Amino acid sequence: MKKRQRAPLTVTVALLLMAGTMSAHHSESINDQDRIILVTGTVTQFVFTNPHIQIHLDVKDNQGNVEKWIATAGGPSALRRDGWNNRTLQPGDEITIAGFPYKDGRNILFQLKIVRANGETLPQSDGSRGRWERFLATHPNQQLDPRFK
């Protein structure tokens, strides 16, 4: 096979392999999208890097024990368009996050909406806003904290 004929074939195969990896990466089946939970805690770390941001929290349970939680969201480039930056959240910030929990019970959730202790709602990315609106439309009887309506 000539070099000119091999190049398009190589590029096509590479793109097909990447497409499978990308779609697998963005599977949301790990989240329980039939319920939203609220997690209130103190930010311990805010990781504003690719591929997805992470918000690490200390959350007190009903007995006062501290549990470690992680909230994930979209990538920084998408969130920058909505006004986020690497200083949007700081260690010590008190926040409440509404999101889809992991199905396996780990203390991880996909954040849909965040409210600061002072009542300020952080801007939602288009993806989070769309998921939030779809959830509310398909679960009209879901009881939510008034700050999240």
Q: Which helix (H) or strand (E) holds 119?
A: none
DSSP state of 103: T
Q: What whole-number distance in Å separates Cα of residue 22 and Cα of residue 120? A: 34
Using the predicted structure, report yes or no on whether residue 6 has a pLDDT greater than 80.
no
Position with higher pLDDT, 95 vs 11: 95
Cα–Cα distance, 95 to 117 (Å, whole number): 6
b/e for 119-135, b at 16 or more Cβ within 10 A? eeebebbeebeebbeeb
Q: What is the pLDDT of residues 57-115, one digit of tens each?
A: 999 999 999 999 999 998 999 899 999 999 999 999 999 999 999 999 999 999 999 99
Query: Number of C-alpha atoms within 13 angstroms, CB side, residue 35?
Result: 7
Do 55 and 94 meet the contact criterion of CB atoms below 8 Å apart? no
Tokens 């600061």 correspond to what residue?
Answer: 116
Domain 37-144, CATH homologous superfamily name and number? Nucleic acid-binding proteins (2.40.50.140)
Residue 69, amino acid: W
- For the entire predicted model, the pTM comes to 0.79
Q: Which two tokens stand for residue 66?
A: 């501290």
Choose between 138 and 42: higher pLDDT.
42
| Residue position matching structure tokens 């992991």 | 102
